[in-house]
Amino acid sequence: MAIALACGAERAQKTAAVMGVPVQAVGYEGQQFFQLSGTCTAEMSPDKAVITGGVSSGAIKPTDAVEQLDKQLALIRTYVEANHGRLQLMERVRTLKTPQPGREDPEPPFQVVQRLQAQFPANAPVDAILQKLIELGLDRFGDNMLNNYNRRDAVIRFRVSDLDAKLRDMQQRCTADAWKQWCGSPAAAASDCAPDKPPADLELQAFNVRSEETLLRPDGGGSANWQFSYNRMQRAAEPPDLLGNVTIHLNGTILLTYRTQPKEAKP
């Protein structure tokens, strides 16, 4: 579909039919501005499985707790790398609990917790890997680094790498569809329009992407569609992690501005 944009003070208007929809072409000194729209689709699947959690170590002396923690992390790193994974260490949290007089506390006063993420290919046997990591000392799960009992956290998440690059490719396909529709319209009949070669000066107004599926939020906030909105000034933020290794079907719509150049007057 093409819809003209108003420009200038003195205007000459004419109406044509594009794709069965009236098209308003507004000209100023030989220039005309049109809005082009197109659609596209894409499928995306996560390529990374991420186990999130932490390892804790407690002792009376901080140095003893840190030494024990480093030994556990060395074993975990060796196992992760042996299974084609990558271990990323995040924050290291140190806590100290003041003992109550006259009461014996089963936990040592000082505790250090290392937050970590272990990344593997999405098709890795994540349940067996998680079991082994627990045996090696993983005792914090999700983003919860405190010892909160009876709390459940999502410990395995899935991610799509280079999502922005994939969405840029999708945007190019939406642009190609919009330009192809424009070249087939009566309004473009008089121009030298190559349907398979969109011009570089098409100006992006809006590019919107929405998933067909509703997807669970890792923070426990229910489910919602993935939605991304791009314009010429900014691009959308990264999406949340997925809680399952699922294929996502995306539908995109794009709105572009196309400006025709004035024709040179014949002598």
Domain ranges of the chain: 2-45+161-260, 48-159
Both tokens of residue 148?
């909160």
Per-residue model confidence as pLDDT tens digits over 186-245: 877 667 788 888 988 899 999 999 999 999 988 777 899 999 988 877 776 677 899 999
Per-residue model confidence as pLDDT tens digits over 34-68: 899 999 999 999 999 999 999 999 998 999 999 99
- Helix 62-82 to helix 126-135 angle (10° resolution) is 150
3-class DSSP assignment, residue 62: helix
pTM of the model: 0.78
Q: Phi and psi (nearest 5°) for 41?
A: -135, 160
Q: Which residues contact 264 (CB under 8 A, 6 or more apart)?
A: none
**Residue ranges in the chain assigned as alpha helix (H):** 62-82, 126-135, 163-183
Burial 145-169 (b: 16+ CB within 10 A, else e): beeeeeeeebbbbbbbeeeeeebee
3-class DSSP assignment, residue 16: strand
Q: What pLDDT sits at residue 262?
A: 60
Strands 110-121 and 138-141: what pairing? unpaired
Q: Does the 48-159 domain belong in CATH 1.10.246?
A: no
